[in-house]
Amino acid sequence: MKDLARFSGGQANPAALDQSSHASVQVRLITISGEEADQRIDNFLLRICKGVPKSHIYRVLRSGEVRVNKGRVDQTYRLREGDVIRIPPVRVAERATQAVPGAEFSILFEDPWVLVIDKPAGVAVHGGSGVSYGVIEQLRASRPEAKFLELVHRLDRETSGILMLAKKRSALTNLHEQIREGQLDKRYLALVHGDWQNARQHVKLPLFKYTTPDGERRVRVQSDGLPSHTVFNLVRRYGSFALLEAELKTGRTHQIRVHLASSGFPIAGDDKYGDFALNRALQKSDGSRIALKRMFLHAYQITFTHPESGVPVTLKAPLPPECEKFLKSLEQASK
């Protein structure tokens, strides 16, 4: 039987194996509880098999060594209460792993079901793709007593603002249902360059997700892509720039960024889809205009139905100081 966590060139760590006891070298059978139900099996395994690389998790899923109710499933299978999962032997090889520092973030709302924070720009929401850890890992490290903590949705690393997490499986399931039904309203503020004309504009462009040869995740407008819809409202003009509110009607990867760039209005500071010459110019101050050293995209408002009480909740996160200061400098420069 294949070993789930045999690293290339790595050597076994006896201490790690001892801590795992027989669970590390024997097949495990786990029965899914109600709180564990309705999550994808790959996400479940990544949590159960701590220290095992993602590549190994997906390998044993593809090979059929992981079974649900004695049958093969793929990585997208959603667990049901009462499912019995067969997990093959797991060994965690000795490999230097970076300790995750616990961190707390500005909290906008918290109760026993939901945690909503104001994420800074430049911080990933989770580890992976060259990032050792992100918001979710740091929050778990700072809250070791938390029995459950999962991301409800995601934000790009370069985007600041509202990020929602669930503290109970039932809350996560409920909020995901609200997202699927279009009942969760998320709004962003984006600064674009160009002569934006309309007070309100709908953009409906299908988006196709792909991976570059160097492994970077990208999105482009493509006829056979997923249907995607964003509504943009003009908030204010600042000379050759315009501050827009973006309403997400669908929640595709990089949706706002690609919809704006494809419409001829790149977000200021966007290093993936933006105007690179403009971005370089913005990184240096010019007269009364100060430098902009980040992408100007901020998740500033969210409205959802509380998963326990059923009461509508609207939360707002103010623009970060660096964005506020940049707008004020644009205002001064346009006078």
**Catalytic residue numbers, as ranges:** 156
* Residues forming beta bridges with residue 150, ordered by sequence position: 166
Query: For residue 330, what is the DSSP state?
Result: H
Residues with Cβ within 8 Å of 41's Cβ and at least 6 positions away in sequence, in order, are 61, 66, 68, 73, 75, 77, 78, 79, 85
In order of 3, 137, 193, 195, 234, the CA distances from 240 in angstroms are 59, 40, 6, 6, 13
SS (H, E, C) 239-285: CCEEEEEEEECCCCCCHHHHHHHHCCCCECCCCCCCCHHHHHHHCCC
SS3 61: helix
Cβ atoms of 319 and 312 closer than 8 Å: no
Cβ atoms of 231 and 249 closer than 8 Å: yes
Residue with tokens 């503020």: 189
| Cα 248 to the center of its chain, rounded Å | 15
User: Of 90, 72, 17, 78, whose CA–CA distance to 42 is shortest?
Assistant: 78
Cβ atoms of 194 and 240 closer than 8 Å: yes
